């Protein structure tokens, strides 16, 4: 749990006053298999912790004597209006958290005028989630060695109403999440990954040694894909393409040159341990992109002031990974909605106390690094 935020023991979802309260409820609702899968980072988890610590080191420079009787947290991503600059990041296997799985998350995103990013490794078919999201979802792709299957998945996502393609670029291999290896993470028998494999195929994956997901992914993902292949990907879908997993100015520059939007992310600290935090990487990426594409960020966001700082430094929106899953585990759709509501309320208050009445008022002058 985030060390600098205190949760109230035994709070109900109704009584939760911050995301730490919801995290405590969500953790308590999960078995070890699910909890370790969601919570774990790579190796010694330095990057996992640093994602949060980087936000706490940055300080705000509030302005005063501004009329803040009306504060509007609204913004947009790729033309889609949002009630606040907060979306839901892609994460696999929502069925570990709640029986309604990705359907509950999609409904919450729609109800709160947010946007959900659906993982390739969802427990629910793309079409079902698309119907629940009602136009408020993006689709995240792991490019598979089987290009025909990748092409089929992309076609399904577009047909289901996805508004953008989020291509994860930092995971040719899965990072080593030692708790999952030690306790041999595996999906329960009642859950599958219907976008990529049948339950029968998953059941055949080795679980006697290490993580079932890591063992399956090892031979699934295309490890040969380079910048030169982005033209192929663009030819498979009419959707805007967002590259998720950018951490350097050099790669942000290449993304912009290839006409892709940029998602600053270190995969929630789950891939390369001791990699730079997303928030620390943001300024150089904003400079490199120079307004040519939209920029998004995930990693360590648990407070409205985190959202404020990221947006002030150039992110169009931030996306919640684990925080949304804790809400899902704590109360299904209602829990995810409560997570989004609490964070949006914090954003609104923080904006008012900083003398900002619109998201457009948030500028780099607000933040001291």
Q: Is 267 known as a binding-site position?
A: yes
Q: Which helix (H) or strand (E) holds 140?
A: strand 137-141
Q: Is 321 known as a binding-site position?
A: yes
Contact between residue 123 and residue 100 where contact means Cβ atoms under 8 Å apart: no
Per the listing, tokens 């040159």 go with 257
55's CB contacts (< 8 A; 6+ apart) are 279, 300, 301, 303, 305, 306, 309
Q: Is 83 known as a binding-site position?
A: no
Q: Is 91 known as a binding-site position?
A: yes
CA 229 to chain CA mean position, Å: 24
HEC sequence for 194-256: CCCECHHHHHCCCCCCCCHHHHHHHCCECCCCCHHHHHHHHCCCCCCEEEEEECCHHHHHHHH
Q: Is 150 known as a binding-site position?
A: no
Q: Given the DSSP bridges, would you call strands 241-246 and 75-77 parallel, antiparallel or unpaired?
A: unpaired
Torsion of CA 111, 112, 114, 115, to 10 degrees: -30
The secondary structure of 37-81 as a DSSP string is: HHH--STT-HHHHHHHHHHHHSEE----S---SS-B--EEETTEE
> Which two tokens mark 196?
């990529």
Q: Identify whether 190 is a catalytic site residue.
A: no
Among the options 110, 158, 261, 267, which is catalytic? 267
Q: Is 156 known as a binding-site position?
A: no
Q: How far apart are CA 317 and CA 294, in angstroms?
A: 9
Per the listing, tokens 């989020």 go with 166
Q: Is 265 known as a binding-site position?
A: yes
Burial 124-139 (b: 16+ CB within 10 A, else e): bbbebbbebbeebbbb
Per the listing, tokens 């729609």 go with 110
Q: Is 122 known as a binding-site position?
A: no
246's CB contacts (< 8 A; 6+ apart) are 169, 252, 255, 262, 263, 264, 265, 281, 285
Q: How far apart are CA 279 and CA 293, in angstroms?
A: 18
Q: Is 140 known as a binding-site position?
A: yes
Q: Is 152 known as a binding-site position?
A: no
Q: Is 309 known as a binding-site position?
A: no
Please enumerate, by residue number, every residue annotated as part of a binding site for glyoxylate: 37, 142, 177, 267, 270
Active-site residues, by number, are 267
Please enumerate, by residue number, every residue annotated as part of a binding site for FMN: 90-92, 119, 140, 168, 244, 265, 321-322
Please enumerate, by residue number, every residue annotated as part of a binding site: 37, 90-92, 119, 140, 142, 168, 177, 244, 265, 267, 270, 321-322
């Amino acid at each position: 749990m985030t060390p600098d935020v205190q949760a109230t023991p035994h709070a109900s979802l109704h009584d939760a006053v911050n995301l730490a309260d919801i995290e405590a409820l969500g953790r308590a609702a999960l078995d070890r298999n699910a909890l370790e899968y969601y919570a774990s980072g790579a190796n010694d988890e330095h990057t996992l912790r640093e994602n949060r610590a980087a936000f706490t080191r940055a300080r705000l420079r509030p302005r005063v004597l501004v009329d803040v009787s009306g504060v509007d947290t609204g913004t947009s991503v790729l033309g889609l209006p949002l009630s606040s600059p907060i979306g839901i990041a892609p994460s696999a296997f929502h069925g570990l958290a709640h029986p309604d799985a990705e359907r509950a998350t999609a409904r919450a995103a729609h109800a709160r005028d947010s946007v959900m990013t659906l993982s390739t490794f969802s427990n629910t078919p793309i079409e079902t989630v698309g119907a629940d999201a009602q136009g408020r979802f993006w689709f995240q792709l792991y490019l598979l060695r089987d290009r025909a299957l990748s092409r089929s998945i992309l076609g399904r996502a577009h047909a289901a109403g996805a508004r953008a393609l989020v291509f994860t670029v930092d995971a040719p291999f899965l990072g080593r999440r030692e708790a999952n290896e030690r306790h041999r993470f595996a999906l329960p028998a009642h859950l599958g990954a219907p976008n990529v494999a049948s339950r029968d195929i998953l059941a055949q994956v080795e679980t006697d040694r290490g993580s079932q997901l890591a063992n399956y992914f090892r031979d699934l993902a295309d490890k040969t894909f380079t910048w030169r292949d982005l033209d192929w990907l663009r030819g498979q879908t009419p959707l805007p393409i967002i590259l998720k997993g950018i951490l350097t100015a050099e790669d942000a520059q290449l993304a912009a040159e290839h006409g892709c939007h940029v998602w600053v992310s270190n995969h929630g600290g789950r891939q390369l341990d001791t990699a730079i935090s997303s928030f620390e990487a943001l300024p150089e990426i904003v400079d490199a992109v120079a307004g040519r594409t939209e920029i998004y960020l995930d990693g360590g966001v648990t407070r409205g002031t985190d959202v404020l700082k990221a947006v002030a430094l150039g992110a169009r929106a931030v996306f919640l990974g684990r925080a949304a899953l804790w809400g899902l585990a704590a109360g299904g759709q209602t829990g995810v909605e409560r997570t989004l509501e609490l964070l949006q309320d914090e954003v609104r208050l923080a904006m008012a106390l900083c003398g900002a009445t619109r998201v457009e008022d948030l500028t780099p002058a607000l933040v001291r690094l």
